[in-house]
């Protein structure tokens, strides 16, 4: 009997039925009714963007709304983060839904009535600020999802944590101890995914990101690696200064650094297994020297490393260090290699992705409304949450179909959001939550 029950639970885990048709229609009706609020929130937040770790106004707006919905709300998490806990009317699993709140040091070029004219301080300088990556939409979508699910509290079989995090794009400045304050990592370190002051331990976490150059309202996802890990690379090549006319009297760090740059390119192209996962090693800064006829003492290189597999990431780090140090040593120079791990790869849990695929397809409504996301070499700190519990990160297209060929990319001053797509984000997050919690309850019953 135990084996039969276990097999039944496994079957339910693979083929999760969606919520009943009438309830599904009711959820969509609730979402539609919230659309005016959704758009008002988005426009207000878009007009008042805030840089990483300075999201004071945004977090206050979020906290006030979650309190009005009757949630247990914690503010000041990882600086300006907010967590709201919604306890359903019935016991069950726990889902976390995450949105990022910060904007970018970008001057908006869109002619919108609610376009940003805000400024902020970035690394000690006053800069224009814009929601050029759509985090304003993420916050608005999650606020609407919170209101929708709070209105179904008595029917909810479990707990939902609404996680609004700061500084996904990184902090606006250095903290007093000289370290950067990164939002997703700091939220996880504060315990938002664990059992404790933020409620029960999280069983599954869902996130969403709007993307340009995808049709408005289209949902995309993929099992396994979806976004790359992100590492900052710094290399200092030290030689011996001399006159440019007598290079043999010194050690030229410019030549050595040039050889290092070329050597590093053989790591992704010749030393890693390209049939497993792609990887990138890019040098974006090459700084050294002060005069045309002086060979300097040292050269500074800076770049980025991207990978999709944690073991490959570690292996690439080892090879970068070995390559730089050995090339430098061969020329009588030295190389100091520093690699700062920023974000792990964002990996969608294969089991969770398979289980929730039917939900997303139902929300999409037709084959044209969904697709398999391409891998992106961009990074996202949703990865920290997905490393603590099975996670699924969904892409939402926000570009009018007739503008796909010319649409500006995320982070552009012309980044534009077709607001008709946002209700699809509310539907996706709401249905994912309800279907997961309902399925978890059914699996528990089948295992008894």
270 and 398 share one domain: no
256 and 150 share one domain: no
160 and 220 share one domain: yes
Supply the mean pLDDT for the chain.
Answer: 93
Give the pLDDT confidence score for residue 442 in this predicted structure. Answer: 75
Give the pLDDT confidence score for residue 448 in this predicted structure. Answer: 65
298 and 327 share one domain: yes
- Residue 391 predicted with pLDDT over 60: yes
CA distance 346 to 123: 27
How far is CA 143 from each of CA 166, 216, 389, rounded to the nearest angstrom? Answer: 15, 20, 22
Give the pLDDT confidence score for residue 14 in this predicted structure. Answer: 37
The catalytic position among 50, 343, 380, 436 is 343
pLDDT in tens, 293-336: 999 999 999 999 999 999 999 999 999 999 999 999 999 999 99
192 and 312 share one domain: no
Give the pLDDT confidence score for residue 19 in this predicted structure. Answer: 67
Helices and strands, number each (H, E), in the chain: 10, 18
Q: Which two tokens stand for residue 400?
A: 């009018």
Last residue of a domain, one of 343, 375, 410: 343
CA distance 176 to 160: 34
Catalytic residue at 419? yes
Question: What percentage of the chain carries pLDDT values higher than 70?
Answer: 92
DSSP state of 114: T
- Residue 8 predicted with pLDDT over 50: no
- Residue 172 predicted with pLDDT over 90: no
The catalytic position among 35, 300, 354, 419 is 419
pLDDT, mean of residues 226-244: 97
Range of the domain at 300: 229-343
Helix 135-150 × helix 56-68 angle, to 10°: 10
218 and 155 share one domain: yes
The HSE-up count of residue 280 (CA atoms within 13 Å, CB side) is: 16
Q: Please state the pTM of the whole predicted model.
A: 0.91
278 and 424 share one domain: no
Give the pLDDT confidence score for residue 182 in this predicted structure. Answer: 81
Q: How many domains does the chain have?
A: 2
- Residue 105 predicted with pLDDT over 70: yes
Residues 6+ apart with CB under 8 A from 380: 168, 207, 209, 227, 343, 346, 393
CATH of the domain at 32: 3.40.630.10
């Amino acid at each position: 009997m135990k084996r039969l029950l276990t097999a039944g639970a496994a079957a339910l885990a693979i083929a999760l039925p969606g919520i009943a048709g009438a309830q599904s229609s009711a959820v969509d009706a609730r979402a539609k009714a919230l659309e005016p609020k959704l758009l008002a929130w988005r426009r207000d937040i878009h007009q008042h963007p805030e840089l990483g770790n300075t999201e004071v106004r945004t977090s206050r707006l979020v906290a006030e709304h979650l309190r009005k919905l009757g949630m247990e709300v914690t503010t000041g998490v990882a600086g300006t983060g907010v967590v709201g806990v919604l306890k359903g009317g019935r016991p069950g699993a726990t889902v976390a839904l995450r949105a990022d709140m910060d904007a970018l040091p970008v001057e908006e070029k869109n002619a919108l009535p609610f376009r940003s004219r805000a400024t902020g301080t970035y690394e000690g300088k006053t800069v224009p600020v814009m929601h050029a990556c759509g985090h304003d939409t993420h916050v608005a979508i999650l606020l609407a999802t919170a209101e929708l699910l709070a209105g179904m509290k008595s029917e909810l079989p479990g707990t939902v944590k609404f996680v609004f995090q700061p500084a996904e794009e990184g902090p606006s400045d250095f903290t007093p101890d000289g370290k950067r304050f990164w939002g997703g990592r700091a939220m996880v370190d504060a315990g938002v995914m664990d059992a404790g002051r933020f409620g029960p331990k999280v069983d599954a976490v869902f996130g969403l990101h709007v993307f340009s150059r995808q049709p408005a309202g289209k949902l995309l996802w993929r099992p396994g690696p979806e976004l790359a890990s992100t590492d900052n690379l710094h290399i200092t090549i030290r030689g011996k200064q001399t006159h440019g006319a007598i290079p043999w009297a010194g050690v030229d760090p410019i030549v050595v650094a040039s050889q290092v740059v070329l050597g590093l390119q053989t790591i992704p192209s010749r030393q890693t297994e390209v049939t497993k996962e792609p990887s990138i090693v890019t040098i974006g800064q090459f700084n050294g020297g002060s005069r045309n006829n002086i060979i300097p003492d040292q050269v500074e290189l800076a770049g980025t490393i991207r990978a999709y597999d944690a073991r490959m990431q570690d292996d690439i780090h080892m090879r970068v260090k070995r390559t730089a140090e050995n090339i430098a040593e061969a020329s009588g120079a030295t190389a100091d290699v520093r690699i700062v791990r920023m974000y792990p790869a964002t990996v969608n849990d294969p089991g969770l992705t398979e289980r929730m695929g039917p939900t997303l397809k139902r929300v999409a409504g037709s084959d044209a409304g969904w697709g398999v996301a391409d891998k992106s070499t961009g990074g996202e700190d949703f990865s920290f949450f997905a490393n603590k519990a099975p996670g699924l990160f969904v892409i939402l297209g926000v570009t009018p179909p007739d503008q796909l060929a010319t649409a500006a990319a995320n982070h552009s001053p012309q980044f534009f959001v077709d607001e008709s797509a946002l209700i699809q984000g509310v539907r996706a997050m709401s249905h994912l939550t309800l279907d997961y919690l309902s399925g978890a309850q059914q699996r528990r019953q089948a295992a008894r």
